[in-house]
Amino acid sequence: MMERENSNRTRKITLRLTTEEYAKIEQKYKASTCRKLSDYLRKNLFDKNITTTYRNQSLDYFTEETILLRKELNAIGSNLNQVVKKLHTLQQIPEFRVWIISFEIDRKIINDKIEGIKSHTSKITDKWLQS
């Protein structure tokens, strides 16, 4: 059975830094994939590879738009389910016609939102392919 990698780490090093020095180290640590500051410092000290995260901020707008579209679709889907439930309970034809008209309006909105999602997905894909 393998022991944990840090099980034999019994020695402690205390180091004092200025606020600026600590901020610089912390900034680099947060840009890395290391979960703990001690892991980052240990890798840095022993010249091991440190994987840094890369974030394409130009995709933020597209991600936000996609999230908004998803929320809108969820709300419309909920409304559509309410319409279907109401249609099953209707007894008179005039009520039925009003709900059919409402259903057609919601269906058009859903189709428009789906086209919007397709458009944004295409833009995101094109952006990723350019990177």
**Are residues 68 and 48 part of one domain?**
no
Mean pLDDT, rounded, of the chain: 79
Higher pLDDT, 17 or 100: 17
**Are residues 126 and 104 part of one domain?**
yes
Is residue 117 within 8 Å of 69, Cβ to Cβ? yes
Higher pLDDT, 71 or 130: 71
pLDDT of residue 107: 81
pLDDT of residue 131: 57
pLDDT above 80 (res 95): no
**Are residues 117 and 103 part of one domain?**
yes
> Per the domain annotation, does 1 fall within a domain?
no
Is residue 17 within 8 Å of 25, Cβ to Cβ? yes
pLDDT above 50 (res 1): no
Range of the domain at 22: 16-54
> Per the domain annotation, does 118 fall within a domain?
yes
List pLDDT tens digits, range 21-69: 999 999 988 888 888 898 888 888 888 887 776 666 666 677 777 778 7
pLDDT of residue 2: 44
Q: 90: Cβ–Cβ under 8 A, 6 or more apart, which residues?
A: 96, 99
